[in-house]
Amino acid sequence: MDWEALIRRELGTMVPYTPGLREEEVRERSGKDRILKLSSNEHPDGPFPSAISAIEAELPELNRYPDGSCRALVDSLAERLRVSPDQIAVGSGSNEVIRVLSQALLEPGDEIVFAWPSFIVYQMMAQLFGATALKVPLAPGEVHDLPAMLAAITDKTKIVYLCNPNNPTGTIYHRAEFEEFLAAVPPHVLVVVDEAYFEFVTDPEYPDALEYFDGIRPLVVLRTFSKIYSLAGLRIGYGVMPKVLVEAVHKVREPFNVNSIAQVAALASLADDKEVERRRSENQEQKTYIYSTFDRLGVRYVPSETNFVYFMTDKPVEVFDALLLEGVIARDFGTAPALRLGIGTPEDTKIVCEAFERIVASLGGI
């Protein structure tokens, strides 16, 4: 069999997404019972109590297919976000929304533009459909360089992704920069703003991209239930987009792409704004504690608007391994001189900070 002839050419250069290490692997390696998995930007607490009740109530109905249109959730989101239900596409994670949008829009020869480092899935989904990904390096301070991103747009550009806040650096661009960008972006380009960490943001200058959504402008806003809502394991996220794009997405998505448990859990979670607020402020307190430890130890970091902190180190491999031996799983980026650390519970934060004290002492600074 000529496998190369069988498998699509685009897949040849693609690398599968690599998730962080699993807890079991690290338990064996470190000998620690308690492993802190801080590598995937998950929330340390379980789903909201209202979501767990909704899941339990739905279990006996699992013999049925889910509602392919996610009607109840879409209606609730539409009311909340003040958009029309036909401007919302729900996916099996916002990852799926990125894939179906790419599949609906991209053809060989098209280009996408996104910042780097940022979320690798934009590039993977572009490659999958034969499009070319143009990476625009972040500006000093690890922030999106919006003027450089504008300059990277060509006649072939179909999508520009803005990850705000950005994963992995945790940074945001501000309202004035975004408005300048929107005013200058050519009309043939779809701007996709990925707001996976929206609920963690506290900076008043943060532009909520939905405020700029009018259903006409080529703008998509992505959000997810995987982060502050703790439903990562269920896979559910959504995009707000002009109706024509929702219609295109319905043509390429699977008929029952979002499972029924995810739908009821997401709907129930939406009702609990108090819990969102509690999590946001607890997350903020943890970051403040980590920053003060880093400041004292001389660890350079980027102030974050998310539930993770990106910090610099000249010894990424040593620091990553030393954290593993402490039972802490961070996220590495090969030999890039930085690591990303998720925010856990207040107890996790104490353990992490104590681990850093030991690691910085034993490595003579990081």
The tokens for 65 are 């297919």
Shortest distance in whole angstroms from residue 168 CB to ligand PLP: 8
The contact pattern for ligand PLP, residues 191-230, with x = CB under 6 A and - = no contact, is: ---x-x---------------------------x-x----
Nearest distance from C-beta of residue 31 to ligand PLP, angstroms: 29
Residue 95 binds to ligand PLP (criterion: CB under 6 A):
yes
- Considering only 170, 207, 218, 237, the residue that binds ligand PLP (CB under 6 A) is 237
Which among 313, 320, 284, 310 is positioned nearest to 299, based on CA atoms?
313
Q: Does 117 bind ligand PLP (CB under 6 A)?
A: no
The 37-66 contact track toward ligand PLP, x by CB under 6 A, reads ----x-------------------------
Asked if 264 contacts 54 with a C-beta cutoff of 8 angstroms, the reply is: yes
359 near ligand PLP, rule: CB under 6 A: no
Helices 273-297 + 346-363 axis angle, to 10? 20
The interface region with ligand PLP, picked from 6-14, 73-81, 88-96, 100-108 by CB under 6 A, is: 88-96
Among 232, 261, 266, 290, binds ligand PLP (CB under 6 A): 232
Q: How many CB atoms are closer than 10 A to CB 124?
A: 18
Residue number, 115 or 185, with CB nearest to ligand PLP: 115
Asked if 186 and 156 count as a contact pair (C-beta separation under 8 A), the reply is no
102 binds ligand PLP, rule: CB under 6 A:
no
User: 224 or 263: whose CB is closer to ligand PLP?
Assistant: 224
Gap between the Cα atoms of 182 and 297, Å rounded = 41
Of residues 222 and 352, the one with the C-beta less far from ligand PLP:
222
- Asked whether position 167 contacts ligand PLP by CB under 6 A, the answer is yes
* Minimum distance, C-beta of residue 93 to ligand PLP, in the bound complex (Å): 3
Task: Give dist(CA 328, CA 36) in Å, integer.
Answer: 5
Shorter beta-carbon distance to ligand PLP: residue 226 or 260:
226
Q: Which stretch binds ligand PLP (CB under 6 A): 92-100, 142-150, 311-319, 321-329?
A: 92-100
To the nearest whole angstrom, how small is the minimum distance from the Cβ of residue 33 to ligand PLP? 27
With CB atoms as reference, the residue minimizing the distance to ligand PLP is: 93
User: What is the DSSP-derived secondary structure letter of residue 15?
Assistant: -
**Residue 169 contacts ligand PLP per CB under 6 A:** no
Give residue 51's identity as a one-letter amino acid code: A
What is the Cα 166 distance to its own chain's centre? 8
Work out the number of other CB atoms within 10 angstroms of the CB of residue 7: 10
SS3 at position 357: helix
Say whether residue 93 binds ligand PLP (CB under 6 A).
yes
Find the binder of ligand PLP among 48, 114, 119, 213 (CB under 6 A).
119
Strand stretches in the chain, DSSP E:
36-37, 88-91, 111-116, 132-137, 157-163, 190-194, 219-224, 237-240, 301-302, 308-312, 328-329, 331-332, 338-342
Q: Is residue 94 involved in binding ligand PLP (CB under 6 A)? A: yes
Q: DSSP letters of 242-299?
A: -HHHHHHHHHHS-TT-S-HHHHHHHHHHHT-HHHHHHHHHHHHHHHHHHHHHHHHHT-
Closest separation in Å from C-beta 17 to ligand PLP: 10
State the number of binding residues for ligand PLP (CB under 6 A).
13
Cβ atoms of 165 and 178 within 8 Å: the answer is no
Residue with Cβ nearer ligand PLP (96 or 145): 96
43 near 228, Cβ under 8 Å? Answer: yes
Interaction of residue 269 with ligand PLP, rule CB under 6 A: no
Residue 87 CB, nearest distance to ligand PLP (Å)?
19
Q: Are strands 111-116 and 301-302 parallel, antiparallel or unpaired?
A: unpaired
Q: Which residues bind ligand PLP (CB under 6 A)?
A: 41, 93-95, 119, 163, 167, 194, 196, 224, 226, 232, 237
